[in-house]
Structure 1
Amino acid sequence: MDSQHEPVSDSATRTRPRITTPITADLLRGALDLERTAHGLQPHRLPAWARAQSPDGQLALAEAQPSGVRLVVRTRATTVELDTLRTKMAYQGAPPRPDGVYDLLVDGRLAGQASVTGGNVLTVDMANGSSQTQEGPVGTVTFTGLGEQVKDVEIWLPHNEMTQLVALRTDAPVEAPPQQGRRVWLHHGSSISHGSDAASPTATWPALAASRGGVELVNLGLGGSALLDAFTARTLRDTPADLISLKLGINLVNADVMRLRAFTPAVHGFLDTVREGHPHTPLLVVSPIHCPIHEDTPGPSTPDFSDLEAGRLRFRATGDPAEQAAGKLTLNVIRAELSRIVQQRAADDPNLHYLDGRDLYGAADFAELPLPDQLHPDAATHRRIGERFAALAFGADGPFTVQPT
């Protein structure tokens, strides 16, 4: 791998060269596409052909936020510097959102956290859906004191900030570490799977579950965009994986995009497409976690701006429970139908499984750890969901348990 050496002061008493290494696909995991920009590389979690099939700005933003994407190198470097250009979200009239976090893992263990400054700010007016972008400079995240031994270094990118990768500098050569033979877990879900309100990229519930399960994560959790889109199904079909999970339901309710008549064949079609590429892969369908505003009340959900100036955004359901009779979806309707569909198909597909999302977070959990905005779990709840998913999916008798050979 080509690199450039630049002498830089490393301490008060010595100088060590900085090595600039091109950021290439073999150094990245969790991204399905890399777009060359004027500044560097933009990781994407949907391929270009899929992005071209939807004009939705919400999806474009969600798939470009690199949840689960990490830069992985093997090196003796004691210092790692990564230049990035972030795009940070802001909401009109609300206090600034916290900076995105970069998690540093050394040989699989969290060894540091940092954020970058500068970058772009995308301000959204949730009252009318408009947005504007204020451009800013490239920033640098730096990790030092890593020790001179050979080690595997991972930098997990912020799950909630679009991140263009500009330059990688180290004080020792780097190489792409060999694949360790770990199984690849491909997961698709909503903003909860994306990591909304998680503390950091390795603290989203899928990242926590992947760590406990000893698997490589590819996270297609797409905030607001788990809508049974055909291009998402084809992306899952075409992505290599040893394990697949689909967490479906909440976005279909809070976006109010279909009725029960359309939902049932759409789920069948989604599963048919995934099975075209993965006919025998363990496939786990997960229904929604407990969410009181939509358990028996259809969508759409709408933002409640009453406490926005204090930094608190909440959501409320605007549907009428009586509309279920006309086919409007609620979480309980979706759970019942997903369970029925999986049971029906499992007769011919023994590797298809169902998990009730309330086993991950139910009514008792809501009483203890309520959803702060009525839709999204906080950091503590992400940990609980991740731990429970790992136990139920990767534990003894779970659908993702390693089968004896």
Structure 2
Amino acid sequence: MAPADVPLLDGPVEIRGALDLERTAVGLRPRRLPAWTRPQIPSPFCELVVAMPSGVRMVFATEATGLELDVLTTKTLAFTGEPNPGGAFELVVDGLPAGRVATPDGNVLALDPSGVKPPDVTPGDPATVRFGPLPPGRKQIEIWLPQSAQVELIALRADGPVHAPEADLRPRWVHHGSSISHCMEADDPLGTWPVVAARAADVNVTNLGLAGNAMLDPFTARTIRDLPADLISLKLGINVVNGDTMRLRAFEPAVHGFLDTVREGHPDTPLLVISPILCPMVEDLPGPTFPDIEDGTVRFRTAGDPARLAEGALSLSVIREVLHRIVGERSATDPNLHYLDGRALFGEADAADLPDALHPNAAGYRRMGERFAAYAFAEGGPFAR
């Protein structure tokens, strides 16, 4: 049977993990915040990571043995000036990984470091991602999109009938965090730690890990408030320190405000607040941090002055103390609110897997997911069923 077009909208395909499908000149771009947030997005970099589909997957059932997906990707320039690899498209058949295709080249986007000018885009061409041969018979298909490149979906073709997927009745977990939840450095979309944890615990995850943009933004809190969720986790603090965007006076009420907003929509939902993982350069120093390139290798460093801590500047040690105290005080009247020190997921013993001094490598992310699942979903854990 020759491959036939499958509609991407108003047909059997569900796109899970995306909260908006933006129509572009060539197709549909999944975004991980709803359309109403677009006017509130504060920078081109924030818009960039919102449109990187970490945790987004196309889901359907089919008897096809071959699939073709036409896409236009947009990769970004890394700090070294070269396009990042862009991750991979990953196929899952009946719950098991069944194939991986490297993200093809397309557009290349360069951000203005000052954030003043709009991004510079070098146009590229669409490409076709192919999976097959697949096993015969009806099967449940997931195509996980790359977590570190934007993707415009143009067309899907299959050489057999395509049907709506089975309803997903698993608990719905909504997670928000920074680049260390976005996981651009993971080898593939199934290697991001929220997906590793979700697959281990058999839950349906929506990953709102937004690299560089876990800033306690009100539009993110309202998004979480309005989403269906049986479980919620918030990994907070590292971007506030590395961006040097807040002082203690602003941080404490911003945390309360974020939690208040989430609780407006989910008053009794298990809610886990996670403090930052190990980051030696800002454990006891404030930001801002910056990438330092030497011999083609990127390492992050801090320009923070320790004397500014007395003025209310924030280090990770301060952040952890504040989050622990806030959760402890609020949990007296909110028994479903919990706290986890992020170093339980990635701590001193894991430092060798922190190659740029900020982000875990692929092995580190997988270990984080395994540890989170073993803690949060275990009997007596905050997400125990």
TM score, norm. by length of structure 2: 0.96
Q: Provide the residue aligned with 1:313 in structure 2.
A: 298
Residue type at the aligned position of 1:342: V
**Match for residue 66 of structure 2 among 44, 55, 79:** 79
Q: Deviations over 1:30-52 (max 9, x none)?
A: 00111111111111101121121
| Separation in 1, partners of 2:289, 2:354 | 15
| Separation in 2, partners of 1:302, 1:283 | 32
Does structure 2 conserve the Cα–Cα contact (< 8 Å) formed by 1:91 and 1:126?
no
Q: Deviations over 1:196-229 (max 9, x none)?
A: 2111111000010000110011000000000000
What does residue range 251-266 of structure 1 map to in structure 2 within 5 Å? 251-266=239-254
Does structure 2 conserve the Cα–Cα contact (< 8 Å) formed by 1:91 and 1:124?
no
| Separation in 2, partners of 1:27, 1:325 | 51
Flag the structure with larger Rg: 1
**Match for residue 190 of structure 2 among 195, 202, 218:** 202
Does structure 2 conserve the Cα–Cα contact (< 8 Å) formed by 1:87 and 1:162?
yes
Residue type at the aligned position of 1:371: L
| Separation in 1, partners of 2:135, 2:177 | 38
Distance 1:269 1:93, change over 3 A: closer
Q: Deviations over 1:43-70 (max 9, x none)?
A: 1101121121123111100100000000
**Match for residue 65 of structure 1 among 52, 55, 60:** 52
Q: Deviations over 1:357-401 (max 9, x none)?
A: 0111111221xx241111100000001111000011011211111
Q: Provide the residue aligned with 1:391 in structure 2.
A: 374
Residue 373 in structure 1 maps to residue 366 in structure 2:
no
What does residue range 210-225 of structure 1 map to in structure 2 within 5 Å? 210-225=198-213
Distance 1:322 1:86, change over 3 A: same
Does structure 1 conserve the Cα–Cα contact (< 8 Å) formed by 2:353 and 2:363?
no
Residue 88 in structure 1 maps to residue 75 in structure 2:
yes
| Separation in 2, partners of 1:33, 1:289 | 30
1:178: Cα distance to partner?
2.2
1:331: Cα distance to partner?
0.4
What does residue range 294-309 of structure 1 map to in structure 2 within 5 Å? 294-307=282-295
Question: May I ask how many residue pairs the two structures share in their alignment?
Answer: 382
Q: Provide the residue aligned with 1:239 in structure 2.
A: 227
Residue 293 in structure 1 maps to residue 281 in structure 2:
yes
1:88: Cα distance to partner?
0.6
| Separation in 2, partners of 1:199, 1:279 | 36
Partner SS state of residue 2, structure 2: strand
| Separation in 1, partners of 2:116, 2:279 | 24
Residue type at the aligned position of 1:250: I
Q: Provide the residue aligned with 1:349 in structure 2.
A: 334
Q: Deviations over 1:69-113 (max 9, x none)?
A: 000110111001111110011137534422430010001111100
Q: What is the root-mean-square deviation in Å for CA atoms of aligned residues?
A: 1.5
Residue 336 in structure 1 maps to residue 321 in structure 2:
yes
Residue type at the aligned position of 1:155: I
What does residue range 48-127 of structure 1 map to in structure 2 within 5 Å? 48-91=35-78, 94-124=81-111, 126=113
Structure 2 unaligned residues grouped into runs of 5+: none
Partner SS state of residue 216, structure 2: coil
Does structure 2 conserve the Cα–Cα contact (< 8 Å) formed by 1:101 and 1:158?
yes
What does residue range 166-181 of structure 1 map to in structure 2 within 5 Å? 166-181=154-169
Partner SS state of residue 275, structure 1: helix
Residue 148 in structure 1 maps to residue 131 in structure 2:
no
| Separation in 2, partners of 1:207, 1:34 | 21
1:171: Cα distance to partner?
0.5
Distance 1:282 1:168, change over 3 A: same
| Separation in 2, partners of 1:128, 1:39 | 26
1:28: Cα distance to partner?
0.7
